[in-house]
Amino acid sequence: MDTAVNMQGTWLLAYCNWRVADAVALIKERFVNPAAPPCPQCQSAFVSQYGALWICPECAHEWTSADMSDEAQATGVHDAHGNAIQDADTVPLIKDLKVKGSSLVVKVGTEVNNIRLVEREHDIDRKIDGVGALGLKPEYVKTA
């Protein structure tokens, strides 16, 4: 009896998920403007334009196209001194960093070679010899 209830519950859940997916697809098809930029705060696609102002109905964030161009120019990864960092740069650490989950400490002056920039909280990814793969915040490095 318990198996039959689980099977029926699974079927019902699958049926409901299919219907929700159809509803979301229909809403996106009818109400999402493909030319509209996503909301810079919550990345929602359901934005609308009112004159020169873009409005997000999900988080109530408002912005203009000029704000978007300023943000595009300001994006990029910068070190502790404000210098731009590029992929494949070699950057030394400016502070001793404790490795989370272990007793290791990466010492100041350790050079991180051939870095890879990613868009996360820790913008720099690289494997350091003797430590392993690390994600670093750009405020703890400087350009060489």
Query: Average pLDDT by consecutive 10-residue portion of the chain (144 residues)?
Result: 46 58 68 73 81 84 72 67 86 91 90 86 85 89 86
Q: What is the pLDDT of residue 106?
A: 92
Q: What is the pLDDT of residue 16?
A: 57
Burial 64-79 (b: 16+ CB within 10 A, else e): eeeeeeeeeeeeebeb
CA within 13 Å, CB half, 114? 4
Angstrom distance (rounded) from CA 46 to CA 33: 7
Q: What is the pLDDT of residue 95?
A: 93
Burial 30-40 (b: 16+ CB within 10 A, else e): eeeeeeeeebb
Q: What is the pLDDT of residue 14?
A: 54
Cβ-based neighbours of 136, under 8 Å, separated by 6 or more? 93, 97, 112, 122, 123, 124, 125, 126
The answer to whether the beta carbons of residues 87 and 115 sit under 8 Å apart is yes
Q: What is the pLDDT of residue 141?
A: 93
- Its pTM stands at 0.48
